[in-house]
Amino acid sequence: MESIWITDVSPRDGLQNQPKLLSTGDKLALIGLLVAAGLRRVEVTSFVSPKAVPQMADAADLLSAVIGQYPQLQPTVLVPNLKGLERACLAGAGEISVVLAATETMNRKNINQGLADATRNCQDTVRAAKAMGMRTRAYLAVAFDCPFEGATPVPTLMALAQQMLVAQVDEIVIADTIGSATPGRVRDCLRLLGMAIPMNQLAMHFHDTRGLATANAWAALEAGVRRFDASTGGLGGCPFAPGAAGNLATEDLVLMAQGSGFQTNIDLGGLLDVIEFAQSKIDRPLGGRSHSWLALQKLKGDLEARLLFPG
């Protein structure tokens, strides 16, 4: 059975824009539940300015605690620049991600840099991380559409991806930041990207703004992608897409993949425990499109439920 690899981003991308601040202990408990559900790669935090993103102010303490308590986990963290990388290194990071928006305007709105300067910043950060012995990921944000400039041309993505490969990045994450992708566009994009980038170095990061995240993930699977970001319960959202439903839900991706013959080694019942805990902490309901059905199946305990939730 062929496997897919999922990085759960709920502790970072999922929580960063939540108005209610969680304690370090609550975040650590959330990550522990993800580990118990079978996740082995989790984006645990980001080393951004605490003033800009108060939710991530405890990044160093949280990462150190995660490394100490969950040795089976491969934690990854987001860093915005060399200063963030230095902080992450001191906290013990072994894998970092950088974010490069694919358009001039998005970079200026997000980090007050133009595209050329943002690209150099990401390249410099990746090179420095590699020199420290870290694994690296590079997000290409607004990969399908920019809220300010419209559709992102695939040749632009290809050029940016190749520049990150020159910096020896390990993984390139194609990010549908505002959730505007469709399966046909995903297929066409990956057909072209696959000509320039090894498919085993590509990952996909979808948002479910228009209800198509799982369908888009299937299109990526058919194109040969085997690495995905997802967020349990669909926790998250993009501040540039008002009303966005959040990230592709990990439970939706796992249910779709396992039902289609792929192995994930992730327990759906454990993901339901994560959702229950997370929504109790942020004081609002969570859950992907399959959540209600999965919860009902687990409650019923019938044959189909035993296949979904073994043991």
Which residues are marked as active site? 238
∠ CA 215-216-220 to the nearest 5 degrees?
120
The Cα 45–Cα 93 span in angstroms is 11
The Cα 303–Cα 196 span in angstroms is 46
Residue with the two structure tokens 């990462």: 63
Report CA dihedral (104, 107, 110, 112) to the nearest 10 degrees.
-90
**Three-class DSSP category at 202:** strand
Longest pairwise C-alpha distance within the chain: 57
- Cβ-contact 203, 164 below 8 angstroms: no
Residue 1: C-alpha distances to residues 202, 239, 257, 260, 261 (Å): 20, 38, 11, 10, 7
Amino acid letter, residue 219? A
DSSP output for 149-160: TEEPPHHHHHHH
Token pair of 180, please? Answer: 């505007």
- Torsion sign, CA atoms 68, 72, 78, 81: positive
The Cα 204–Cα 195 span in angstroms is 17
The Cα 232–Cα 41 span in angstroms is 13
User: Residue 148: left (phi > 0), alpha (psi -120 to 50), or beta?
Assistant: alpha
